[in-house]
């Protein structure tokens, strides 16, 4: 994929443009109700909300894995179905097992390219590169069910990336991942963003959001968007977060309770504020 496809600078391509999305359970319960979403190439966006707010459903709608009951989704500024751009969209749900169903890790990573008719020589190169990048080379011939949770997560992401997508939609990617693997996966997401991949991450964890997103879409329990804006603007609105059923990030909450203005968003920012003294009181 070219840099032009991924969008650099101010002249960015709109990679996902959703208008009026609605989805209801078959029993009539509302999950998503009239949501608009626009994602530009190269962005890092977080879909934030409490459990039950419809984050996973929204990601599946944006990735074309669910059909909305109302509304439309356009991809790459064209009226085209998700299937027409399946090689440009990567969707990873919470359960890595949904992507690891072949006898070996190697075959799982090869699966996407084989379905898209990628030549075997190219597929082999992708498998080798991804195995090296995700520290999976020694696991390629192992059955996926024999991997640890962190190894499964890495193998699942490698499988999704094997089609070389422009857009990556991740549903709670750090769920059930231990500390070492969490740091490794966060570093990987940084690398992908640096490479120009558009990354949309759903999470209920306000402490995670500053690490994975520059812009936030905050969902309420009623299936609507209750706030959208920069990560700093949304996460330092402590009252708005609590109204949505979420605790503010730990650092934000601490400095807010201490009476500071211009709240720091991360631990390093908080340390800087402390070193500068209490000017923010």
Domain contains 278: no
Domain contains 266: no
Domain contains 269: no
Domain span holding position 124? 10-248
- Distance of alpha carbon 192 from alpha carbon 59, whole angstroms: 19
- Distance of alpha carbon 279 from alpha carbon 248, whole angstroms: 22
Q: Which run of H or of E encompasses 38?
A: strand 30-40
Contacts of 248 (CB under 8 A, 6+ apart): 206, 235, 236, 238, 241, 242, 256
Is there a contact between 195 and 40 (Cβ–Cβ < 8 Å)? Answer: no
Domain contains 156: yes
Tell me the pLDDT tens digit for each residue of 148-200.
888 888 899 899 999 889 999 999 988 767 767 788 888 888 998 999 999 99
Count: domains in the chain: 1
Q: In the sheet where 30-40 sits, what is the strand order?
A: 30-40, 14-24, 70-75
Domain contains 262: no
Read off the CATH number of the domain in which 202 is found.
Answer: 3.40.50.300
pLDDT band, residue 217 (cuts 50/70/90): very high
Domain contains 244: yes
Tell me the pLDDT tens digit for each residue of 27-45.
777 789 999 999 999 999 9
Please give the structure tokens belonging to residue 222. 């009623």
Which of the 8 DSSP states describes residue 78?
B
Q: Per-residue pLDDT averaged across 133-138, rounded?
A: 91
Is there a contact between 15 and 80 (Cβ–Cβ < 8 Å)? Answer: no
Instruction: Give the pairing of strands 89-92 and 70-75.
Output: unpaired
């Amino acid at each position: 994929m070219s840099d032009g496809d991924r969008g650099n600078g101010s002249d960015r391509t709109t990679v996902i443009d959703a208008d009026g999305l609605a989805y209801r359970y078959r029993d009539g319960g509302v999950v998503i109700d009239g949501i608009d979403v626009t994602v530009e190439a190269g962005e890092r966006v977080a879909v934030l909300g409490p459990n039950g707010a419809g984050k996973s459903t929204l990601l599946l709608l944006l990735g074309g894995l669910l059909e909305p009951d109302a509304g439309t989704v356009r991809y790459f500024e064209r009226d085209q179905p998700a299937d027409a751009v399946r090689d440009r969209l990567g969707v990873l749900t919470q359960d890595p097992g949904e992507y690891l169903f072949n006898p070996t890790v190697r075959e799982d990573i090869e699966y996407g390219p084989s379905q898209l008719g990628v030549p075997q020589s190219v597929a082999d190169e992708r498998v080798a590169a991804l195995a090296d990048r995700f520290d999976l080379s020694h696991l390629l011939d192992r059955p996926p069910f024999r991997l640890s949770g962190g190894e499964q997560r890495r193998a699942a992401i490698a499988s999704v990336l094997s089609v070389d997508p422009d857009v990556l939609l991740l549903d709670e990617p750090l769920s059930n991942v231990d500390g070492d693997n969490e740091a490794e996966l966060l570093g990987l997401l940084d690398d992908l963003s640096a490479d120009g991949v558009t990354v949309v991450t759903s999470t209920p964890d306000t402490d995670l959001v500053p690490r994975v997103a520059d812009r936030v879409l905050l969902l309420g329990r009623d299936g609507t968007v209750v706030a959208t804006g920069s990560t700093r603007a949304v996460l330092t609105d402590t009252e708005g977060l609590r109204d949505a059923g979420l605790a503010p990030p730990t650092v934000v909450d601490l400095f807010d309770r201490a009476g500071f203005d211009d709240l720091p968003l991360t631990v390093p920012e908080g340390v800087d504020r402390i070193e500068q003294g209490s000017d923010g009181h």
